[in-house]
Amino acid sequence: MYNLKTRCFLLSLFLIIFSEQQIIAGPPYFTDDPQPVDFRHWEYYISTTNIFRTNAWSGTSPHVEVNYGLVPNVQVHLILPMNYDYSPQNGFKFGYATTELGVKYRFVQETEEVPQIGTFPVVEIPTIQNNEFSNGRAQFFIPVWVQKSWGKLTSYGGAGYWINPGTGNKNWFFAGWEAQYDLSSVVTLGEELYYHTADAVTTNPVAAFSIGGSINASEKFHIIFSAGHSFLTDSFTTAYFGLLWTI
């Protein structure tokens, strides 16, 4: 029975990768899900997100994320990131610039036939003047996310639009899908595919994948991780590692 479930999981990933449909839950992935934190419960993350290009590294080290179930089907969200950037020409730069705030709202509950559906608009607010990591303009993301589960297999994804003001910047569109499988009560593995249009006049569209998962060290403490690579015009590698505490 276990081997059959494993084969079904691998088959689902194969279909995701080779489907003609553009497909791609939050950390450790770029794609999110519509499921909010349970009412009056908390999630605390301390994580690092990294993007490695030839002769250039950037990301957060670390960032802190807090989510709270404010009312049933509604979650409030906060990210405080410490950003870094490195290149041989400019050296290493480190600092704080923007604060991310958001509200996740699930407006359709999941049933046997119907997926759960929600939205998770966020705003990135310039908090400290730092020209290395912010142009001083607020950015907004307005997505719709969908999720459906079949036993130990869960799949979710959706699309959204980033409003990205600033000289040389462009508003951009993101779409992605993820599938994950609970190998046991301790280990979950998954994969995502995602695509976004160019976010500046000097950049190109991006298509990439990530493979990752989570390890439940206890009922409340979790280790989450992912790594991925691009396969369109840009060439880069991504890596995410985080610790999650749920109460």
Whole-angstrom distance, CA of residue 176 vs CA of residue 196: 9
- Residue-by-residue pLDDT tens, the chain, 247 positions: 445 444 444 444 333 333 333 233 589 999 999 999 999 999 999 999 999 999 999 999 999 999 999 999 999 999 999 999 999 999 999 999 999 999 999 999 999 999 999 999 999 999 999 999 999 999 999 999 999 999 999 999 999 999 999 999 999 999 999 999 999 999 999 999 999 999 999 999 999 999 999 999 999 999 999 999 999 878 999 999 999 999 9
Residue 14 phi/psi, 5° resolution?
A: -60, -45
Whole-angstrom distance, CA of residue 227 vs CA of residue 240: 6
Is 119 exposed, middle or buried, given 0-12, 13-18 or 19+ CB atoms closer than 10 A? middle
Long-range residue pairs from 85-89, CB within 8 A, at least 24 positions apart, any chain: 85/56, 85/57, 85/58, 85/132, 85/133, 86/56, 86/57, 86/58, 87/55, 87/56, 87/57, 88/55, 89/55
CB atoms within 10 A of CB 158: 22
For the stretch 154-192, pLDDT in tens is: 999 999 999 999 999 999 999 999 999 999 999 999 999
Q: Cα separations (Å) of 124 from 91, 145, 158, 171, 206?
A: 26, 19, 20, 14, 21
Strands (E), the chain: 42-53, 56-71, 74-87, 91-95, 98-108, 116-119, 122-126, 139-150, 153-163, 172-182, 187-196, 206-216, 221-230, 237-246
